[in-house]
Structure 1
Amino acid sequence: MITSWQRYAKDHPRVVDMVVIVQLFAAVALGSAFTTAGNSRTNGSFGLGVLLGGIACVALLWHRSHPRTVVAVTAVCGNTAGAAGCLLTPLLLAPVMAALYWLAVHTDRRTARVHCLAVTALLVATAMFFDPYGHPLALKTIGPAAWVVLPIAWGTASRLRSAYLEAVQARAEHAERTREEEARHRVAEERVRIARELHDVVAHHMALANALAGTAAHLAASRPEQTERILADLVGTTSTALRELKATVGLLRRPDDSEAPLEPAPGLGRLTELATAFASAGLTVDIVTEGERRPLSPGVDLTAFRIVQEALTNVAKHAAARAARVTLTYTHDRLTITVTDDGSGGTPVVPSPSGGFGLIGMRERAHSVGGRVRTGPRPEGGFSVTGELPIHL
């Protein structure tokens, strides 16, 4: 959790640096006065200690851009003050400790370790050779080393904590982006699915209705009885279209936990009904089954029916053919669907100014169940649609 002080420090780093440096200078001045008071052998050390402390504190202003140089300057100033007679206390060494802390924060562990050893060796040497107070050897070695290791350890811990928090933040942002991308992907998939369902329901029946209406208009004057039968078929086709459209929209609007009964999805069992509907529109459809017929998974059965339905709709709309052949070839684990037309010429049963998304929809449906669809013209004339689907998902 970021406090108001942390937020202010992040937004105004130079102001915070100045406040810290002023406090460090006060510590150096206090340390110089305290360590030189009452000792005749260190006369004049106070002024030199304050001067060197001021130089070290000014150097700290560049601790972000030049951390190694700042450590060197503050270490030289601290050791010079110690050589002049000032006692190497944490107060006097405050600028050096701050520089080492920032060095550990801004650089890597190896750099911090090397500078820690160098500054420790320099301070221990100064304490041993320039000691006007005659302190024990343990105090002259352990004390300076401790005051150097402490800020290095603290700075390293701060750097690792910051790196950890940044990694957590990065993972959270990545997870958020992933969720957003997944949501967009799901929306796109849902839009494609809805478009495919509506196309399968609407395009087929509207093509038949258009063909029946055109035929009825053509025969209205010369064959009224046949026209009446065609109009009856037209009513049945449009009623079926409305019923399937209503069922599809209802399915799309249905909550996931709804237990309302659904109309059975169409399958290859309705091919005869499909062929009869196209025959009413003037397209003769011959259905041939090769191999032993095998039960299909519901998804494969629906996909197979939609492929045949779309292929025959395209024949009626674009092929200018009067006959089509649907061949269902069953093997041990595959169903091959082949829809061909005679390409006999003339005008299409259902005139269409342009193509649509039927072929794309067929390929998408086949791919969704692990199959594929191939389309193309036949050498002997006409067009062929071949779909290969697994028997079971």
Structure 2
Amino acid sequence: MTSTSTWGRWCAEHPRTIDLALTILVLLATWTAHRIALDGNDTREVTVVGVLVTAIAAATIVFRRRYPFSALAVAVLLGVLMIALSAPPNAGTGSAAMVCLYYVASTSDRRRTFFAAASTVSSLMLVTIFLGVGNNLLQEALGLLAWLLMASFAGAEVRSRRAYLESVEARAVQAERMREDEARHRVVEERMRIARDLHDVVAHHIALVNLQVGVASHLIGKDPEKATTALRGVEETSKAALDEIRATVGVLRDAQDGDRSMKPAPGLSDLPALVDQFVSAGMEIEVRAVGSLRPLGPAVDLTAYRIIQEALVNASKHALPGAVTVSLSYEAEVLVLSVENSGTAVPSTSPPGYGLLGMKERAQAMGGEVSAGFRADGGFRVDAQLPLVSVSSGSEREES
């Protein structure tokens, strides 16, 4: 810490001590100025009235913090009185007014500072010129003008400097608050992304395991060979689920190791394999594509895959067996996809999940939209529109 900042803090912590010191300095300055005037053949003697008025003028400094304009007005009036009565020691009677004017200028706005300075300067100068006693009245008036202007300009500069520092500090606080808000926002977004990824991975594989176990349970007494095949599928699916969860946790724990072990993000090119998994578990799925197939951006490609994946998972969990149709339509600027099943919805006793919410969040991040609802014939339908060029500026790879 510098000596300047230490001194400034000490002054701020001991205002009464500073005011008392300034009062004593003003009294000494006034008395010194009078002695100099005596050396210059000023024959006036010190009077009780002069000493009393000078002391009261100096005492206004103590009250300038609480009553700045009142203290200045009293100091100016006493100075005018000293000059008008020619009551020594009147040399240096503007000292108290100068200190009060400095404080007013350092704490008030420009308009009030200008008014206070103009009133102080005009009052003391006019009284000095027209009512003062001596041979150098114009010189004294100009000297008084210089000191008062210097006090007002110094106070205004201190006020401007203080306002500048406060604005700099406020901007720094605002910038820090914005950085904290941005950091919190990024943390929330990352948590939501991780939640979506874990939900997609776990829900998909658990749904397949549930289907395969159901098939095995149904066939174990009728066709043990097919039941064994279904159970083998359960083993493979659960192993794949564990591998993907392990990879995701590894990415979260160590980004560098995660990058080396990370698999490419899935896309619509993996749709046949995804459909085969559900078909092998007993679902009936038809895929339809309309329009010219074209390569998609990694983010849009992944989002389309995840939406279809979640829709198939929901169809496997919440609907009785029925045909599921996956439709893809490549239009000029958007990819339109839908997943609809003809099975009757099965009442669920479990609390609502986050699958539909995750689909909507993924689509919105790409600048698209998702809608879902029951069909008139009792089935369920999920519709999505995704721009062929993603508006998201995020990473083009996803950690599996």
1:37 deviates by 7.0
Residues 29 and 53 of structure 1 are in contact (CA less than 8 Å); yes or no, is this contact kept in structure 2? no
Cα 1:292/1:352, change in 2 over 3 Å: farther
CA distance in 1, matches of 2:130, 2:228: 122
Secondary structure at the residue paired with 1:104? helix
CA contact (8 A) 1:104 1:156 kept: yes
- Aligned equivalent of 1:23: 25
Report the AA paired with residue 33 of structure 2. Answer: G
In structure 1, what is the Cα distance between the partners aligned to 2:62 and 2:366? Answer: 67
User: What secondary structure is seen at the aligned counterpart in 1 of 2:260?
Assistant: coil
d(CA) in 2 for partners of 1:320 and 1:61?
Answer: 89
Tell me the distance in 2 between the aligned counterparts of 1:78 and 1:356.
Answer: 83
For residues 182-226 of structure 1, give each alpha carbon's deviation from its aligned partner in whole angstroms, at most 9, with x where no partner exists: 111111111111111111111110111122123323432333112
1:273 maps onto 2:273 in alignment: yes
- Measured after TM superposition, the shift of residue 87 of structure 1 is 7.0
What are the equivalent positions in structure 2 for 1:63-142 lying under 5 Å apart? 63-85=64-86, 86=88, 89=91, 91-135=92-136, 137=138, 139-142=139-142
Q: Between the two proteins, what is the percent identity of the paired residues?
A: 39
- Please report the TM-score for the alignment, with normalisation by the length of structure 1: 0.91
Distance 1:217 1:17 in 2: 94
> Is there any run of 5+ residues in structure 2 with no aligned partner, and where?
391-400
Partner of 2:368: 371
- Specify the alignment match of 1:221 in structure 2: 221
CA distance, structure 2, for counterparts of residue 133 and residue 165 of structure 1 = 46
Tell me which residue corresponds to 1:302: 302
- Structure 1 distance, partners of 2:77, 2:288, is 98
Deviates more, 1:236-245 or 1:99-108: 236-245
Q: Distance in 2 between matches of 1:110 and 1:88?
A: 30
Distance 2:257 2:147 in 1: 67
Q: Which moved more, 1:31-40 or 1:128-137?
A: 31-40
> What is the root-mean-square deviation of aligned Cα atoms in Å?
2.4
Q: CA deviation at 1:259?
A: 6.4
Counterpart position of 1:59: 60
In structure 2, do the counterparts of structure 1 residues 224 and 40 end up closer, same or farther at CA, with 3 Å as the change threshold?
closer
**Correspondence 1:1-393 to 2 at 5 A:** 3-35=5-37, 42-45=44-47, 47-85=48-86, 86=88, 89=91, 91-135=92-136, 137=138, 139-255=139-255, 260=260, 262-344=262-344, 353-393=350-390
**Structure 1, unaligned runs of 5 or more:** none
Aligned length: 387
Structure 1: how far apart are the matches of 2:133 and 2:288?
Answer: 112
TM-score (norm 2): 0.89
Give the match for residue 396 of structure 2: none
Q: 1:233 to 1:256 in 2, by over 3 A?
A: closer
Contact 1:282/1:322 (8 A) holds in 2: no
Report the secondary structure of 1:260's partner residue.
Answer: helix
